[in-house]
Amino acid sequence: MAITKETIEDKIEVIGDYKIIQVRHATVIKEDDKVISTYYIRNSYSPNSDTSGASADVKAMVKHFHTDAIKQAYANHLSAS
């Protein structure tokens, strides 16, 4: 009986006007290659987030979607709130 645990980024979504990048991590626990448990954790990256610890896929999404115009619009939104 071998029990294994694996965590993967299984979903990356871009949400809303300010292109918030939402990442879902799935942790899958298997016993003899049969899934016995799965749970999810989400985190998100707004245009002003530090992405230095993010995966290469998330960094690519940030580079594509978090343009200077989006960053400025988000900053304006935060200051108006």
Q: Residue 39 is encoded by which pair of tokens?
A: 């749970």
Helices (H) and strands (E) in the chain, counts: 2, 3
Q: Please write the tens of the pLDDT for every residue from 38-80.
A: 999 999 999 999 999 999 999 999 999 999 999 999 999 999 9
What are the residues whose beta carbons fall under 8 Å from the beta carbon of 42, sequence distance 6 or more?
A: 22, 23, 24, 25
The answer to whether residue 81 scores a pLDDT higher than 90 is no
The reported pTM is 0.85
CB–CB of 31/25 below 8 Å? no
